Amino acid sequence: MVSFSIIMLFWYVFPVIVLFACNFIISTFSLTERFKVKAPDISIPFLFIGLNELSKDSYGQSIVPYMVISVLLLGICVAVFQAYYYGEILYGRYFKMFWRLVFLFSLVLYAVLILLNIVHYFS
């Protein structure tokens, strides 16, 4: 059974902390004007670390290999979509779309993992 602790509460609010911290860093160093970088762009590695730790704490094993396979499949799907829809693959547009979709994927996966953890705790 999953034991609830302060550490688990930290991993529950970790994505919010990461997004606020990344937004603060971007606004402090004016990265949006210089490099066209937004908070989701630099928060992805931190979300992967949080997903790894939350899954290890909750279920005793990491879901990182499954996430890597899913991200690779997402990259293939984005390439096929852009080739079909636009008729060509432009690297800048591809990597921007891919990286933003990886952020959405990791954020949704984080929310699902938190919900599963809460359901597992109360059942």
pLDDT tens, residue by residue, 85-94: 999 999 999 9
pLDDT band of residue 97 (cuts 50, 70, 90) is: very high
Q: Write a three-state SS string for 36-87.
A: CCCHHHHHHHHHHHHHHHHHHHHHCCCCHHHHHHHHHHHHHHHHHHHHHHHC
C-beta of residue 52 within 8 angstroms of C-beta of residue 62: yes
pLDDT tens, residue by residue, 49-69: 999 999 998 888 999 999 999
CA–CA gap between residue 83 and residue 89 (Å, rounded): 6
> Phi/psi of residue 4, each to 5°?
-85, 135
Say what the pTM is: 0.90
Cα R_g (the chain), whole angstroms = 17
Tokens coding 10 = 């930290």
